[in-house]
Chain A
Amino acid sequence: MSGGVDSSVAAALLVARGHEVVGATLKLWGGPSDSGCCSVADVEDARRVAQQLGIEHHVFNLTEEFERRVVDPYVEEHARGRTPNPCIECNRSIKFDRLLGRSERLGFDRLATGHHARVTAEPAGGHGGGGTGGRPGWRLRRGTDAGKDQSYVLSMLGQEALGRVLFPVGDLTKEEVRRYARRLGLRTAAKPDSQDVCFIGRAEGRHGFLSRRLDLHPAVLVDGGGRSVGSVDAVELVTVGQRRGMGHGTDGRRRYVTRVDVPGRTVTLGSATEALHSSVLLAAPTLSWVDTPIAPGAPAVAQVSAHGRPVPCTVHRDDAGVVVRFELPQRPVAPGQTVALYDARDPDAVVGAGIAS
């Protein structure tokens, strides 16, 4: 229970269905936070909702683990010019690892969250292109409300975790969630969704946060011919494919980052088309599959950001991992970003995920 309306209603639905429910809020970040996720005010909101639902509420202090497994890697990745998604890391190592383990040890049957996603039980005889591979198993699917779907940030989950989680609001639209909360008189009914990374305040931003933990280095902006055309304050914050802050070329058209060389402190700019990539390599150690790995050469649908447009692709084996070949060239996927793969024949269903190398 993060203190948001989704987890509030998730708890409420489970209580209504007659389950024995205990609410837990995670204290993850001890520093300043205005994201609306898990600050003291949010803990109080979650606690109050739990009281309104008549269930026990606990606050678990996982700040040290969060620092070690989410924040430190976030900083280190940036030092290497990579762009990680800390919310995915938090799901992977904190919520669906540490917390899931704790719920099991305490004797609970399931861990539920307010994510907009669905888990379905699939009978044997599933699709050949990936997924349950013909055996009965669990499928992770997009939430009913396409605009709020969070399957992307859950795409690393496998059978073991999926068999122990519940996503009660995955079947509802956001409007239905809020309506349910209003009907129950929950104080979080009208609370705005948290938008930003929970440990980075709006005022300081990513730059401010990282500058306090890392030396950030200026870099030269060069065009395709190697001529210097400007500079940036922090090469570690520049993402390949980035348009923001890169201005226009002499031809009057927007410029895009085509290459970032962190040690060489150089950012290469090009046109929109020059910046497009036709594939991305997902490093082998970062790959996860909902069930069986996708067959080599199989078609899939790739989503490269939390609310990005899904794009058709084919997935191929490589020594270093898996290569996702887009049907049409795309804005590049920054190293460190997660690519979620969906079943080409059942595009709501997640097949697996990996991190761009």
Chain B
Amino acid sequence: MHRYVVKLLEILQEKKALGIDELIKESKLNKDSVLWALEQLQESGFAKLTKSGKSTPIFSEEGKRYAESKLPEEALLERLGKERVKISDLSPEERIGFQWLKAKGIADVKDGFIILKEVKKIEEGDVLRKLFKDPDSFEEVRKQHPQAIDNLLKRKLISMKSSEVIESVEITPLGEKEKLKQEEEIGELNRNIILSGGWKGKAFKKYDVSLGVEDAEIAKRHPFRSFLDELRDAYVAMGFREISGPIVEPSFWVFDSLFVPQDHPAREMQDTFYLLNPGRMELKEKKLVNRVKDAHEKGWHINWYKEVAEQAVLRTHTTSVSARFIYNLDKRLLASISPVKPLQLFSIGRVFRNESIDYKHLAEFYQTDGIVIGVNLTLANLFDVLKRIYNSIGIEIKFKPSYFPFVEPGVEVEILYNGEWLELGGAGIIRREITGIVSKKIKVLAWGLGVERALMAKNKGIRTITELYNSNLGWIRNKVII
């Protein structure tokens, strides 16, 4: 038996008989639980319940309306007191009133006019209004005015709702003798209970599901790292192949191979990290180095020095990865390129600038480079491919002219961030001075774009670039992943 039943029986064995309110108080259970348990006790013959019946009226729409004003016969009677009324002049409601007056022998028709035969008070009106005011007086009123109540019920102005209420309870002799053990309630489930079937027929302890709890310790990806993967997947979905390359490079791959003149300001030590160890990295690609030297001396009209190109640096852009790929294109891949089948490649990685660090500036950050190698490629193709990639991850971009030594035409890509257009990076068609060394027939669309700003434009929760390099565990645990 349920523990509520056991509890009530224990109380009854001690007190013998008691009122329902007393029982609720004594048992500390709620009313519904007590009523339910009492029914169980009565069914088992352990307790006898004293119930009282009780009826209350329920008013129909019509009944409610009349109770608030008058019955139709009352209204008609009032009118008849003031004027002579033709039967044909009656409103539909007055017709109902007339039927009742006629039935009670109060009124009749003569020569088309209504005549009063006897003046009587309309009992139903008073009864209806009294009940409406005080529904609990129903039983009493019913005793006094049985005919009127009957009429109201017949006219469906009211209906009757009856209910039984347990008033008190007393223990039976059977109940006094009954020795009940409280049934075990199941709290936490365990292997034994599950496997033995011991849970069958038993109650489960109810838990308070509204109680507050602490969050679980969730292990998460770093939000920025997870964005890098989102970006990678966007490229792959567009048919791009991932490539990568070294971070420590001779200047050649970062600058010279990209037609950046040796006296370009970006190459100065205040912008670029040059290295103490290794100070220089030998260039073994002799043929390529000579062709690059020629292109520089012809294009920039200044002497080109191999020693300058061999100075080791931390790459300042991932375009060095693209440069390495372009210059190392093998014959098979070159031959596979057709007007309908360009080669599409991308890389994502860290780049370095010798910056003074503050909340807006970092010495290292991410960049993504993409190249499309094909024939007959145009600026309009470049705009299309960039828009597709960025729009696919929910980022708006636009283009304007700009200058970079290795592309022509040059494009600055701008990103919509908090309603403002900000610089995201550069793009363009790679100069013939570079691609011509590999093949006369190819054209290469290229871009090198910042990654941090793209995430910040997407994730409004991140306000400064330094936050993206925050690896405080509390921050990662609480960061919303979108």
- Do A and B truly interact? no
- Please report B residues at the A interface, Cβ cutoff 8 Å: none
